[in-house]
Structure 1
């Protein structure tokens, strides 16, 4: 009996190995984009993915490639697969806007998203995504979001008071530890009427997981010689491994998978608690039936009898909104303060606009949306921070059918031919570089890599309109653009106004040159050669007189 089992195991390993080897060879000789130029593959197993994921700073390697090969080129991913890396405006518009759902997320992206967020709006495709988005849209309308301005302002004031209470003013503060607390409290209260109590130091399971959610994805936390997340993150694994072997590997989760599953389990507990309490409170209350906050929208959707409008518990996107709704805003604010600390003249100019608005509306008055929008340079620095520091640097897509992607800027092929269309086959992996588009000299000028908020005040027409905000790709674009982008902008405005009104930010002793933009799923700040300290953005904070 034992001998039979051993033989079966060896047979399974042999067949799987032969299958994988065949996949390598087949893909290597059937390369889909071999007519394009691109960097040489550094490994048959990992292609160029290993060097991209393990680079110490976001986009350094890709920047060299885009400068050499143009706005679109071939790169190699794992197991011999070709990928099309793109930052061309027209190509991005075609994939995200024109083609709608014809370029869905890549298989591995869908797997990771489903593991973390369930079958919510980040995971869904096609008609399912369209149904979920329509159900959630009322909760994210500009009119609905205005009611949260007061919460944004109160929360920022509490953060300022915390700094004073803990005697952090006139000292160096790691703002990257504090900003996620305020945004987590805000998203909990505004979207789900749930109090995390992060700013007050209340410990809870989900809040603790958030603290280290992305640190485990940093290059220093990865195994030094093997590809990261081999069982699900490497792009082509599902297509190379037989399903039984892929399922078997899932029984041995990586530390990233374990952390993601912890987040998933903890967020499910919060969601169930929130929904149970809200359902009990809403029973028989007529006024709740017209509410359009996220929680009310989800409750009504769960109770609807129309299957086209219903969102079940796993589709409710509570996990998506909790994580994406607080971490991205906190990170963007962190990089915004980083740039203003390095640019005292710009910080003073923003403060001058803040002071003028305060003089006009009164010291104790709450600001309205129109007050924030009335400050041109204030809003320009927000846009410039979003441009220079997109928290999610790339998006992964694949072609649902044979297609041809148009280019704004022609490229040169391996044979020396100039082309302005790239033919792609069904299943072709496409990497959309948000970070490179946001710094493309053809779009933003020769100073695209420099901090220059004035570029958003100067009236300059762009050939291709992209994104949902300021021609930026930071919130993605098209049918899959970030549903909460207005929420994020309003929150950014409130936090920036509230902090700059009371504090002046400057570099710590030694400066900020050692801060790196580290790739970790999202872009996080860490000190060069000192990553063991964790996420770091040390700024000197001084109270304004």
Structure 2
């Protein structure tokens, strides 16, 4: 009798993945005739990858979409892995519809939710439907205008802490790589103390989240992940790094929750806890409250740490870079800040009384959105209206398209934010002045909904809950730094700046390793 072959766990996993892939491909072929309106688009580079490699290799992630929109119309389809197709929306009317229907029609894909669950847990970013609605409603009071007013002084305190740090080390010409502690204090009642020279596990985890040099397997998982959701759990170097980040943030969230419990039991609180976003939320919710969030949901809100800690710091890095390139605009901003007076502005004054500061921040958010695209899966069949008629693959001219359940749709935020079609011939240039005349200019950007005609914060029911928080912090940081320091490139304003690939893209000097941009920093005379 022939010996019985024993299957290893790896064999079982491989065969299972192969069987799943065959079923997936067969299902795609069977349903291909019911994929909604067939649209024109670029040819596929390969059946295995589609055009994913071209998008991944682009220095400007929005540029391929702009080129395809110019050739095929503002709504088109691109080939993706394993013979699939994805619909791309670059039409304002279609984009507005897409965001308005999030949560009810367009939801995150299985892969997207698996990645979020692995990294952050099942909190607001992961939730869909009624769960998202409940969690968002519970969090909203902590991000109200009244709450941000209370937190504005925290933003300034942390900004002056950074100023003092630079004052003490100015003779060494520091690189602009420091992060602020304000999101740790304001969001988590936790001071990371990175500026005090102490080791920050969170800062170290974020610094390790580079997508450059991660190896062939990690990049293959990234390219094929949209079609193979189980790859989010595959033990690649990138997935391991993201898992370590989640563990680090969970430790901080655990410490916070325990601290809040002790304070509740002892009736002792401190000023930092009272002004904490999470502190405000926890103190506002009783165990029997209608919108009560369970312990797992509270811990999963550590996504706030990523959203604030990393995206805002990336934003002011880009702001200092753009202002270093154009010293005249840096001087113009400093003049407005100095004329405002010696006292720090209130939140209301940050919003209304510093128009050029507002313009600079908006221009950075337009040019350098921390998240480059939104991809969702259709939960049900839908019809998407289009403002500019397009020609379908069959030659029909239409002003709407049918989207079948299960279809993938993408809005390229970088494309919409940087397109000459919407922002004029200087769309890719840093020009804060455009925001001072936008209401009078005949730009198509005004067709786009969202915060000030930008979709950097998304729109609709999933618009960024913390945008007022982020804007106030961004403005406070930039005001203190520009008021007290001047910024230049050691190699002159012609220094070429590129993008370092990471979970949140960061600036880098082209040709140099890592996300480092050295700057000459001098005190303002």
Closer, same or farther in 2 for the Cα pair 1:465/1:5, shift >3 Å? same
Q: Does 1:280 align with 2:262?
A: yes
Equivalent runs, 1:364-379 vs 2, <5 Å: 365-372=343-350, 373-379=352-358
The C-alpha deviation readout for 1:239-262, integer Å capped at 9, x for no partner, is xxxxxxx4xx77751111111111
Distance 2:134 2:310 in 1: 26
The C-alpha deviation readout for 1:296-339, integer Å capped at 9, x for no partner, is 34434775124643333344443201111111001111111111
Residue 356 of structure 1 aligns to a residue whose secondary structure is: helix
Closer, same or farther in 2 for the Cα pair 1:20/1:123, shift >3 Å? same
Deviates more, 1:367-376 or 1:489-498: 367-376
**Residues 503 and 541 in structure 1, CA contact (< 8 A), matched pair in contact too:** yes
Q: How far did residue 205 of structure 1 move?
A: 2.5
Equivalent runs, 1:44-443 vs 2, <5 Å: 44-98=47-101, 100-168=103-171, 171=173, 173-175=174-176, 177-178=177-178, 181-182=179-180, 185-213=181-209, 215=210, 217-218=211-212, 220-223=213-216, 227-229=220-222, 234-238=225-229, 246=230, 252-285=234-267, 293-300=276-283, 303-306=286-289, 308-358=291-341, 363=342, 365-372=343-350, 373-443=352-422
Aligned residue number for residue 457 of structure 1: 436
Closer, same or farther in 2 for the Cα pair 1:152/1:265, shift >3 Å? same
Distance 1:318 1:307 in 2: 19
The C-alpha deviation readout for 1:185-239, integer Å capped at 9, x for no partner, is 11111122111101112113233212222x1x23x43418962347xx611114x
Deviates more, 1:413-422 or 1:488-497: 413-422
Closer, same or farther in 2 for the Cα pair 1:278/1:43, shift >3 Å? same
Closer, same or farther in 2 for the Cα pair 1:78/1:356, shift >3 Å? same
Distance 1:13 1:398 in 2: 27
CA-atom RMSD in angstroms? 2.9
Residue 150 of structure 1 aligns to a residue whose secondary structure is: helix
Q: How far did residue 399 of structure 1 move?
A: 0.8
**What is the TM-score with the length of structure 2 in the denominator?**
0.90
Residue 426 of structure 1 aligns to a residue whose secondary structure is: coil
Distance 2:164 2:446 in 1: 46
Distance 1:19 1:544 in 2: 63
Distance 1:54 1:200 in 2: 38
Closer, same or farther in 2 for the Cα pair 1:512/1:270, shift >3 Å? farther
Q: Does 1:5 align with 2:1?
A: no
Distance 1:71 1:336 in 2: 30
Aligned residue number for residue 21 of structure 2: 20
- Determine which of 491, 494, 517 is the counterpart of 1:537: 517
Residue 5 of structure 1 aligns to a residue whose secondary structure is: coil
**Residues 56 and 518 in structure 1, CA contact (< 8 A), matched pair in contact too:** no
Aligned residue number for residue 425 of structure 2: 446
Aligned residue number for residue 243 of structure 1: none
Distance 2:16 2:153 in 1: 62
Closer, same or farther in 2 for the Cα pair 1:412/1:174, shift >3 Å? farther
Closer, same or farther in 2 for the Cα pair 1:279/1:429, shift >3 Å? same
Residue 438 of structure 1 aligns to a residue whose secondary structure is: helix
Q: How far did residue 60 of structure 1 move?
A: 3.3
Closer, same or farther in 2 for the Cα pair 1:200/1:291, shift >3 Å? closer
Residue 199 of structure 1 aligns to a residue whose secondary structure is: helix
Closer, same or farther in 2 for the Cα pair 1:98/1:287, shift >3 Å? same
Q: How far did residue 263 of structure 1 move?
A: 1.0
Deviates more, 1:419-428 or 1:92-101: 92-101
**Residues 183 and 308 in structure 2, CA contact (< 8 A), matched pair in contact too:** yes
Aligned residue number for residue 241 of structure 1: none
Aligned residue number for residue 504 of structure 2: 522
Structure 1: 5+ residue stretches without partners: 239-245
Closer, same or farther in 2 for the Cα pair 1:14/1:493, shift >3 Å? closer
**Residues 302 and 313 in structure 1, CA contact (< 8 A), matched pair in contact too:** no
**Residues 33 and 84 in structure 1, CA contact (< 8 A), matched pair in contact too:** no
**Residues 189 and 276 in structure 2, CA contact (< 8 A), matched pair in contact too:** no
Residue 520 of structure 1 aligns to a residue whose secondary structure is: coil
Distance 2:253 2:236 in 1: 25
Residue 166 of structure 1 aligns to a residue whose secondary structure is: helix
Aligned residue number for residue 500 of structure 1: 482
Distance 1:9 1:100 in 2: 38
**What is the TM-score with the length of structure 1 in the denominator?**
0.87
Distance 1:332 1:187 in 2: 14
Q: How far did residue 74 of structure 1 move?
A: 0.4
